[in-house]
Amino acid sequence: MRAVVINCTLKPSPRESSTQALAQVVMRALMERDVEVSEIRAVDLDIKPGVQTDMGGGDEWPRVHDMLLNAEILVIATPTWVGRPSSIAQRVIERMDAMISETDGEGRPVAYNRVAGVLVTGNEDGAHHVISELAGQLGDIGYTIPGQAWTYWHLGPGPGPNYVDTDQGREWSHKTGRAMAANLVAVAEALAARPMGEPPE
């Protein structure tokens, strides 16, 4: 079983990313369940604006697209900016829009029988909304969202530290992240054993 984790931080490598730091917890939990995990920091790639699978001109999305079609599990990991998913996360979703009309050999949208979860960090409130926005979009595209397939971290109220700046609250976020990994794997396995079929006319 394979997973792709897309880190949607605004910070290019090698800058420290709170989102990446929390994502490590989920990646480790996936690996402990024998999942092969690939990580992408999307801001490091030249992902062109648009809604087709290959926008040309050096567009690096097609490689990510291939990785998605090769993985049963997807995790979108994003910071919260002004209460919403990062512009990088929305760019990733826009490029996945083309997957709605791509079908596999049996006429099913390519995202069917794949599962997705969401992980959020921030220096302020907004996580549940970010999770809901991204999970809603991934469900539109055809991913199944397992129950409780998310985790997040931020303190409140008002602006506060970043995840990498303090240990406060980590225990809850990590435990929730381990449950997220378990739920992603469990539902991915169930769908692998007994897949969804082609949508009816």
Considering only residues 115 to 134 of the shown chain, the ones binding a second copy according to CB under 8 A are 124-129, 131-133
Residues 6+ apart with CB under 8 A from 152: 119, 120, 121, 122, 127, 128, 130, 131, 173, 176
Shortest Cβ distance from residue 156 to a second copy (Å)? 4
Residue 140 touches a second copy, criterion: CB under 8 A = yes
Shortest Cβ distance from residue 139 to a second copy (Å)? 6
d(CA 92, CA 121): 18
| Residue from 82, 105, 106, 167 in contact with a second copy (CB under 8 A) | 82
Residue 186 touches a second copy, criterion: CB under 8 A = yes
Shortest Cβ distance from residue 23 to a second copy (Å)? 15
Site for a second copy in 59-78 (CB under 8 A): none
Residue 201 touches a second copy, criterion: CB under 8 A = yes
Residue 156 touches a second copy, criterion: CB under 8 A = yes
The nearer residue to a second copy, 67 or 190, going by C-beta atoms, is: 190
The nearer residue to a second copy, 105 or 171, going by C-beta atoms, is: 171
> Which token pair is 200?
């009816």
Residues 6+ apart with CB under 8 A from 100: 109, 111, 140, 141, 142
| Residue from 61, 76, 141, 162 in contact with a second copy (CB under 8 A) | 141
| Residue from 50, 53, 67, 69 in contact with a second copy (CB under 8 A) | 50
Alpha helices in 5-60 (DSSP H): 18-32
Piece in contact with a second copy (CB under 8 A), picked from 59-67, 68-76, 171-179: 171-179
Judged by CB under 8 A, the number of residues near a second copy is: 79
Q: Which amino acid is at 5?
A: V
193 CB neighbour count, 10 Å cutoff: 7
CB neighbour burial string for 29-61, b if at least 16 within 10 angstroms, e if fewer: bbeeeebebeebbbbebebbebeebebeeebeb
HSE value, Cβ hemisphere, 13 Å, CA-based, for 74: 31
| Residue from 13, 31, 46, 51 in contact with a second copy (CB under 8 A) | 51
| Residue from 75, 86, 119, 162 in contact with a second copy (CB under 8 A) | 86
Give me the residues paired with residue 116 across strands: 74
Instruction: Tell me whether strands 73-81 and 115-121 are parallel, antiparallel or unpaired.
Output: parallel
